Structure 1
Amino acid sequence: MSEQDSGLRARLIDAGVDLLRREGVQALSLREIARQAGVSHGAPRRYFPTHLELLSAIAREGFADLAGQVAEAIGDSQAGPRAQLMSLGRVYLGFALADRGMFELMFRHDLLESGRLGLRETSLPLFEVLVDLVARAQPHSDAPPRLVAGALWANLHGIAQLWAWGSLPLAVGGDDVEPLLRAALDAHLGPEAAR
C-alpha cells in the first residue's frame, strides 16, 4: 500500500472515529464517513471492501485507546494486583461512560465474530491482562483465574451498561459508581480484608 493510500485509509478511520464520538453508532454509514473524510462516497470501498471491515478498523482504534489507558493506569509496579484491578475497573467504567458510542461498537457481536482485521487479536490481550491480575490477586483460589476474570468482566460490563442507561443510579440511589466497582471486586475476589 502506497503512502498516499495508507494516509487515505487512516483518514477514513479517523473520520469514522470522530463521527462515532459526535453522533453515535447509527451515523456510521460508508457514505457519511466518506463525506466526513472529504472523499467520494465510493472511496471507502477501495480500502474496506465491506462496511464491517471499516467498522472493525474503527473499533480497533477504541480497543487500542482502552488498552493504552489500562496500561497507564496499572503501570505502577508498586501497586498490588487488587489495586491494579481497581484501577483497571475504573478505566473500563470511565471509558464506557465517557465514550459510549465507541464502547457499543467495540463489543458488537457481528464485528467480534466476523474476524475482520484481527479485531479478536486486538480485544483478547486486554482480557489476558485481567486474567493475569486476577491470578495474582487470588494465588490460592480453587477457581480458575480465567473464569473469575470472565465473571468480573461480565460484571463490569453490566455495571457500565446499566449505569449508562440510568438504571443503576436509580436502583442504588447514588451517583457514584465506585462503590459498585468495590462490590464487584469483593464479590469475585472476596473481601479485601480477607486477602
Structure 2
Amino acid sequence: MFDKEIEAIAKCTELIKELDENSKFRVIKYLIERFGIGSSPMHTGSFVPNKLINRGNFNNDEIEHQEFIEESNDEDYPTLKQLLIKNYPKNETEWILCYAFYASKYGEDTFRKEDITERYKENGRHTTSTNANLANNINSCIKKDWIKDINKDEFILKPEGKSYAKEVLKGNSTAKEVKRAKRTKGDSESR
C-alpha cells in the first residue's frame, strides 16, 4: 500500500513543484475537495485545517505545528427514546433537527423527508398532524439556517444546524417548550 502512496506523492510533488504558491494552493484544494478529505486527518498524523485552506496562503511550518484535533462522531448521543423521556427538544422544529442529525449520520450525509418520518415512527411521535406539518417544520429549519435543500428530495445539515443539534442533545435547548395538547374523545367529535 505504501508503494502506491509514495508513487502518488512523488507524482504530485513533481507536477506541482514548478507552480506558483496560488496555483499550488488551488491544485491541493481541488484534490482535497475532489476526494472529500476536507479537514480529515491524514494517516501520517498531520492535516491541513480548514482555516488554513480557506486562507489560501499557508506554509509547511504552519501545517506541522497545528494541533491534531479529530472530531469524533462516536460521541455518546442519547437515543431517540431518551430524547423523548428527557424532553430535550422543546418544539417540533427542534425535533426535526434532531431527527435530521441522526438520519444524516451526525451531519455527515444527506437525508430525506422519509428519514425524518421514520424517526418519528421509531420513537412513537408519528401522528397525522406531525406528518401534515412536516414540510412546514422542515421549512422552519431551513429559515433558521439549520438545514439546506440540495435538490427536490435531499437535504444536508448546515454547520449551524449540526452545532445546535449537539446542544439540544445535551439538553441545552434555547427554545421555549411547546406543550402538545391532549385531546379527549369529546374534543375530536365536537369539531
Whether the TM-score (by the shorter chain) exceeds 0.5 is no
Q: State the TM-score, normalized to the length of structure 1.
A: 0.31
Which protein is bigger by CA-based radius of gyration?
2
Q: State the TM-score, normalized to the length of structure 2.
A: 0.32
If each structure's strand is expressed as a fraction of its own residues, which one has the higher value?
2
If each structure's helix is expressed as a fraction of its own residues, which one has the higher value?
1
